[in-house]
């Protein structure tokens, strides 16, 4: 298994695809994606880190998807559809594209567009397009058939969770026997949407490679209960006979939460995975490795152990640690995906337990400069402690921006240590980027919000808050050549510039 980066230190930018600018209400795989890659090349950046490519939930979170395999069809570009001859008329964007993604309205609008495109495809697709679609169905049947079926049945039940469906819909085998004509069309449209997404994403990634940019993707450890993964593979999760989790995921009490955190995700039936020689996991890794260049594995410590909370427990105080077969699992994955490149997201308590596993599979750790200013000895996030097997961030998608942290959250002692190190803090975001870049880390990554020196209003996600997340977007004018050249100079100063 290869390491996550070349030996030469490099840098990159964190930006969700949904945050790209554009006229249709949400970032997509159209012209602005290609323009951003051009910007990264001018800026001398080797990596573009995105968030999970999965379909988000109703709040916009891509970490709670109804499929670990399907791509986010909300990213389909109307402009590219028109250019490819897959729409009967040129799409008209709204008079004003919102600066914040409204997932409820954009889902309705995009699905209407996909249905229109499918009808047009049936009558007007070229032979090349029909062959491409057929090849995609054949290549993806391992996950695509169950996914499209699940979506069609979910449409029939007005998006209600699968365990509330009538008995005949409770498994893929039974559900296929009861499909009616309308559901079969819905199923076909869901398959078609996945082909559109895959075609457009492939072009974006190919363009990135041609411009010396590699994609860092994201694989969440946990799965959502109301997902095709659980519906079609109930034996692989710890569920009761009705399909409800017997235990759920979370973390025990710590200094930040006296009741711990109860996340509610179902937990894995590891003996069942072992009997299948980890086929389900191998499929996940293989698919994502074919879509991105490096995989950031979210909650890497889950491969060592997970906190099991009884389903009826009110909080996470009641629970126990249960071991996970991480070494065995990754050895099997390595056999089938030998060129896999991993980054271990091991933030939070218990990272020491995962060190042996990540080192065995050459996965660099993650550190955040924002957490490195408390002055405690041997703080693993402090600049002077950063080793070369590290991906070093100024901030990430779950934290405030660096400017927002400095203005609104930094403790007095953190401010003291920042001032001792930086001497002046008139440009805290870029000064922090410089501090990160001059360490020996393999890769440094800054969110686009830090590059733009944005405050708390640019924050992308506030963990624990159910609304108002995942919606931040770039403006077209913010993808500035002036900023790109400034970033290139800073990156070159510390020998991290991509030469591609």
Candidates 199, 226, 345, 346; catalytic one: 345
The answer to whether the CB of 304 falls within 8 A of the CB of 350 is yes
State the Cα–Cα distance between residues 85 and 88, nearest whole angstrom.
7
The catalytic position among 57, 145, 155, 398 is: 398
Q: Are 61 and 469 in contact (CB under 8 A)?
A: yes
CA distances from 265 to 57, 220, 299 (A): 14, 11, 13
482: left (phi over 0), alpha (psi -120 to 50) or beta: alpha
Helix (H, G, I), strand (E, B) or coil at 310: strand
Q: Is 298 a catalytic residue?
A: yes
Contact 196, 129 (CB under 8 A): no
User: Catalytic pick from 28, 199, 298, 450?
Assistant: 298
Residues 6 or more apart whose Cβ sits within 8 Å of residue 269: 235, 236, 237, 238
The long-range contacts involving 412-416, CB below 8 angstroms and separated by at least 24 positions, are 413/374, 413/375, 414/373, 414/374, 414/375, 416/375
Cα separation of 197 and 106, whole Å?
16
Contact yes or no for 272/235 (Cβ under 8 A): yes
Decide if 450 is catalytic. Answer: no
Known active-site residue 328: no
Q: 16 and 376 in contact (C-beta within 8 Å)?
A: no
| Chain centre to alpha carbon of residue 383 | 26
Q: Are 281 and 330 in contact (CB under 8 A)?
A: no
Contact criterion met (CB below 8 Å) for 442 and 364: yes
**Sheet architecture: strand order including 261-266:** 261-266, 247-251, 305-310, 320-323
CA distance 272 to 274: 5
**H/E stretch holding 24:** none
Max Cα-Cα span within the chain: 70
Q: Can you tell me the distance from the alpha carbon of 350 to that of 34, in angstroms, rounded to the nearest whole number?
A: 39
Catalytic positions, written as ranges:
298, 345, 398
């Amino acid at each position: 298994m290869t390491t996550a980066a070349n030996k030469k230190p490099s840098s990159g930018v964190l930006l969700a695809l949904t945050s790209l600018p554009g006229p249709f209400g949400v970032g997509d795989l159209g012209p602005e994606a290609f323009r951003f890659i051009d910007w990264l090349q001018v800026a001398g950046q080797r990596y573009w880190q995105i968030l999970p490519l999965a379909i988000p939930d109703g709040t916009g979170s891509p970490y709670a998807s109804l499929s670990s395999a399907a791509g986010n069809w909300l990213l389909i570009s109307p402009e590219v559809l028109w250019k490819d001859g897959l729409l009967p008329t040129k799409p008209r964007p709204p008079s004003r594209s919102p600066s914040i993604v409204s997932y409820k309205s954009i889902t309705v609008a995009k699905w209407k567009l996909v249905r229109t495109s499918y009808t047009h495809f049936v009558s007007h697709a070229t032979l090349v397009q029909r062959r491409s679609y057929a090849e995609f169905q054949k290549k993806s049947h391992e996950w695509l058939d169950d996914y499209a079926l699940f979506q069609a049945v979910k449409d029939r039940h007005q998006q209600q969770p699968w365990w509330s469906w009538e008995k005949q819909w409770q498994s893929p085998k039974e559900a296929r026997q009861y499909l009616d004509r309308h559901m079969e069309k819905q199923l076909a449209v869901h398959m078609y949407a996945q082909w559109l997404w895959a075609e457009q994403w492939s072009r974006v990634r190919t363009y990135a490679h041609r411009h010396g940019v590699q994609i860092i993707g994201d694989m969440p450890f946990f799965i959502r209960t109301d997902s095709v993964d659980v519906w079609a593979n109930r034996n692989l999760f710890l569920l009761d006979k009705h399909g409800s989790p017997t235990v759920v995921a979370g973390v025990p009490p710590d200094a930040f939460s006296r009741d711990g955190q109860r996340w509610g995700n179902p937990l894995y039936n590891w003996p069942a995975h072992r009997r299948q020689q980890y086929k389900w996991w191998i499929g996940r890794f293989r698919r994502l490795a074919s879509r991105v260049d490096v995989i950031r594995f979210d909650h890497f410590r889950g491969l060592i152990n997970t906190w099991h909370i009884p389903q009826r427990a009110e909080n996470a105080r009641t629970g126990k640690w249960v071991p996970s077969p991480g070494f065995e699992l990754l050895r099997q994955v390595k056999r089938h995906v030998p060129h896999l490149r991993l980054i271990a997201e091991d933030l939070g308590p218990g990272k020491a337990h995962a060190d042996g596993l990540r080192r065995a599979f050459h996965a660099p750790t993650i550190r955040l400069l924002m957490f490195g200013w408390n002055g405690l000895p041997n703080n693993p996030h402090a600049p002077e402690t950063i080793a070369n097997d590290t991906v070093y961030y100024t901030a990430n998608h779950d934290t405030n921006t660096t400017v927002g942290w400095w203005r609104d959250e930094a403790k007095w002692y953190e401010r003291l240590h920042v001032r001792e190190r930086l001497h002046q803090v008139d440009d805290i975001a870029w000064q922090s980027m410089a501090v990160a870049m001059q360490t020996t880390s393999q890769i440094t990554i800054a969110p686009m919000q830090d590059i733009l020196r944005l405050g708390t209003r640019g924050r992308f996600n506030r963990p624990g808050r159910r609304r108002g997340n995942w919606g931040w977007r770039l403006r077209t004018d913010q993808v500035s050549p002036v900023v790109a050249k400034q970033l290139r100079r800073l990156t070159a100063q510390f020998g991290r510039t991509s030469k591609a």
